[in-house]
Amino acid sequence: MTKLKTAVIGAAGYTGAELIRLLVHHPACELVCLHSKSQKGTRVDQVHRDLLGDCDLRFTDVVPTTGLDAIFLCLPHGEASTFLKQHSFPSSTVIIDLSTDFRDESAGFVYGLPEVNKEKISTAKRIANPGCFATGILLALAPAIQNGWIQGSVHVTGITGSTGAGKNLADTSHFSYRINNISVYKLFTHQHLQEIQQTFQQLNSKVNPEVFFVPYRGNFSRGIWITAYFPFLGAKEEAIAAYDTFYSGSAFTYISKEAFDLKQVVNTNKCTLHLQTEKGQLVVYGALDNLLKGASGQAVQNFNLAFGLDEKMGLNLKSIAF
C-alpha cells in the first residue's frame, strides 16, 4: 500500500498527540512532519512519553508546502486561518482543520460530520472537523430533526472531561479545581451552537429549533455525556426504528437498546445513543470520547473517507471498560 505523506500542525497539544497515536500505526499513513513552535527540535517521545518506541520524529516549526498528501491542523481557534494565509498548499493536498475556523464551510471547507456529509467528505480537499459537543448533540438529534419531530425548542445538557479544555493550564482545568467538582460554563452561549444550527438547517430547512444547551465541566479526564429531550407523541419503538434507519450506514454510531455508561465509549471512535420516552418527552442519551470521535478520531475517519480508504482504518479501538 502506498502511504500518504502526512503532517500534523500543532502536534504538541491533546488533539495533536491523539492524532500521532492514531496515525503512527495507520496502515496508509506516513508521518513526515510534526509541527510545534513551542517544542521545535525536541523528540516527540520526550513530550508525549507514551510514544517511546512508536515515533522518533522531532518537532519542527518548518512545514513543507509541497510533497504532502494530507495536513491536519490542530491549532488554537483563530490560528488555523492565519496559518493557511501564511502557507500555500496545492489544491490536491487534503487539509483537515480541527478548530472552529472553517466550520461555517467558508473557504471551500466541507463540514466533516460523516453521519450527515459522508458523500461530500469523500470528494473534499478541505474538511472542517466538528466540535466535540457539536458531534454529540448532532448525533443525538439528527434523526429527530430530519423527521421534523422538533418544532419548538430542545433542551440539552452535556458534561465533558478536562481534556476538552486543552493542554494549556487554566484555573478550571487544575486537578485541585476539577476533582470532586462540577460546574456550568457558557450557559446557552457555547460556541458549538452555531455549527449545530447550521447542520439542523441542512438536515431539514423547514424547522429551526432553539437549542437550550447547558455545558458542564466534569471531574474526569476524557469523555462526553449528552442528554437531550423534547416533546414527542409517538411510541419509543417508532423513534428507535427511525434512529436505526438513519444510522444504518454509519461506521461508528450505534443505538443501544440497553442503558450504557461513559466508559463503554472512552478510547474508541464510537458514539453510542440510547432512547427513552417519559411524560410525553423523547429523551436521547449520547456518549463519546471527546478526544477521539469528538476530535482526532473523527479527523482520521474524515482522512479515510477523503482518500477512499476503509472508513474504520486505524480506528478499531477497544474501550477501557474499567
Q: How many CA atoms lie within 13 A of 289 on its CB side?
A: 24
How far is Cα 193 from Cα 275, in angstroms, rounded to an integer?
22
Residue 214 CB burial class (10 angstroms; 0-12, 13-18, ≥19): middle
Residue 69 near residue 1 (C-beta atoms within 8 A):
no
Dmax over CA atoms of the chain, in Å, equals 61
Please report the domains of the chain, with CATH numbers, ordered by start residue: 4-129+293-306 (3.40.50.720), 132-290 (3.30.360.10)
How far is Cα 219 from Cα 176, in angstroms, rounded to an integer?
10
* DSSP 3-state of 275: strand
55 is catalytic: no
The predicted pLDDT at position 310 comes to 98
How far is Cα 274 from Cα 261, in angstroms, rounded to an integer?
10
The predicted pLDDT at position 123 comes to 98
Question: Among 143, 219, 136, 156, which Cα is nearest to 183's?
Answer: 219
Residue type, 144: A
* DSSP 3-state of 224: strand
Find cell 455525556 and name the residue: 225
Strand partners, 33: 7
User: Residue 228: which H helix or E strand, with range?
Assistant: strand 224-231
pTM listed for this prediction: 0.96
Residue type, 99: S
Question: Among 105, 99, 103, 49, which Cα is nearest to 71's?
Answer: 99
b/e for 15-46, b at 16 or more Cβ within 10 A? bbbbbbbbbbebebbebbbbbbeebeeeebbe
Residue 235 CB burial class (10 angstroms; 0-12, 13-18, ≥19): exposed
Grid coordinates of 226: 449528552
pLDDT (tens place) for every residue of the chain, 322 residues total: 789 999 999 999 999 999 999 999 999 999 999 999 999 999 999 999 999 999 999 999 999 999 999 999 999 999 999 999 999 999 999 999 999 999 999 999 999 999 999 999 999 999 999 999 999 999 999 999 999 999 899 999 999 998 876 666 677 777 778 789 999 999 999 999 999 999 999 999 999 999 999 999 999 999 999 999 999 999 999 999 999 999 999 999 999 999 999 999 999 999 999 999 999 999 999 999 999 999 999 999 999 999 999 999 999 999 988 8
